[in-house]
Amino acid sequence: MTTNWTVRAIRDAVNSGSATAASIVDEALSRIEKKDGEIGAFLEVFADDARKAAKDVDARHAAGEKSLPLAGVPIAIKDNMLLMGHVASAGSKMLADYRAAYTATVVARLQVAGAIIIGRTNMDEFAMGSSTETSAFQKTKNPLDVTKTPGGSSGGSAAAVAADMVPAALGSDTGGSVRQPASLCGIVGMKPTYGRVSRYGIVALASSLDQVSPFTKNVEDAAIVLSVIEGKDPLDATSVVLDEPVAADLSLSLQGVRVGVPREYFIDGMDEDVATCVRSNIEKLRGAGAEIVDISLPLSPYALAAYYIIQPAEASSNLSRFDGMRYGNRGEGAIEESYRSARGAGFGAETKRRIMLGTFILSAGYYDAYYKKAIAVRAALKTEFDQAFARVDVIVSPTSPVVAWDVGAKMNDPVAMYLADIFTVAANITGIPGISVPCGTAHGLPVGLQILGKNFDDNKVLQVAAAFEALNVKA
Q: Which amino acid is at 352?
A: K
Half-sphere exposure of 123 (CA within 13 A, CB side): 33
Decide if 318 is inside a domain: no
For residue 304, the SS3 value is helix
Query: Alpha-carbon dihedral of residues 431, 471, 259, 239, nearest 10 degrees?
Result: -20
Split at pLDDT 50, 70, 90, the class of 475 is low
Q: The pTM is what?
A: 0.97
pLDDT at residue 343, as a whole number = 87
What share of the chain in percent tops pLDDT 90? Answer: 92
pLDDT at residue 336, as a whole number = 80
Contact 3, 21 (CB under 8 A): no
Contact 393, 259 (CB under 8 A): yes
Distance CA 161, CA 302 (A): 33
Note if the bond before 172 is cis, omega within 30 degrees: no
Decide if 311 is inside a domain: no
Residue 153 bears catalytic tag = yes
- Per-residue pLDDT, averaged over 205-213, amounts to 98
Decide if 307 is inside a domain: no
Instruction: Give the least confident one: 53-67, 169-183, 274-288, 311-325.
Output: 311-325
Which CATH number do you get for residue 166?
Answer: 3.90.1300.10
Q: Which domain covers residue 179, as residue numbers?
A: 7-229
Distance CA 123, CA 111 (A): 22
Active-site option among 78, 191, 410, 460: 78
Residue 78 bears catalytic tag = yes
Between the alpha carbon of residue 155 and those of residues 161, 407, 443, 458, the distances in Å are: 10, 12, 20, 23
What share of the chain in percent tops pLDDT 70? Answer: 99
Radius of gyration of the chain (CA): 21
Helix, strand, coil abundance in the chain, percent, nearest 5: 45, 15, 40
Backbone angles phi, psi at 107, to 5 degrees: -70, -45
pLDDT at residue 296, as a whole number = 97
pLDDT at residue 345, as a whole number = 87
Decide if 426 is inside a domain: no
For residue 261, the SS3 value is strand
Decide if 396 is inside a domain: no
Distance CA 181, CA 460 (A): 22
- Comparing 334 with 317, the larger pLDDT belongs to 317
Query: Is residue 328 pLDDT above 90, yes or no?
Result: no
Measuring CA to CA, which residue among 471, 454, 436, 468 is closest to residue 394?
454
Measuring CA to CA, which residue among 256, 279, 283 is closest to residue 397?
279
Decide if 418 is inside a domain: no
Query: Is residue 185 pLDDT above 90, yes or no?
Result: yes
Decide if 304 is inside a domain: no
Quote the distance between the C-alpha of residue 88 and its chain's center: 17
Task: Count CB atoms within 10 A of the CB of residue 402.
Answer: 22
Beta partners for residue 171, in sequence order: 213
Distance CA 87, CA 323 (A): 18
Active-site option among 130, 177, 213, 227: 177
- Per-residue pLDDT, averaged over 422-434, amounts to 98
Distance CA 310, CA 208 (A): 9
For residue 214, the SS3 value is strand
Contact 397, 265 (CB under 8 A): yes
pLDDT at residue 323, as a whole number = 84
Split at pLDDT 50, 70, 90, the class of 57 is very high
Decide if 423 is inside a domain: no
Q: What is the count of structural domains for the chain?
A: 1
Residue 397 bears catalytic tag = no
Q: Is 470 exposed, middle or buried (0-12, 13-18, 19+ CB in 10 A)?
A: middle
Instruction: Give the least confident one: 17-31, 321-335, 395-409, 426-440.
Output: 321-335
Active-site option among 135, 153, 183, 436: 153
Mean pLDDT of the chain: 96
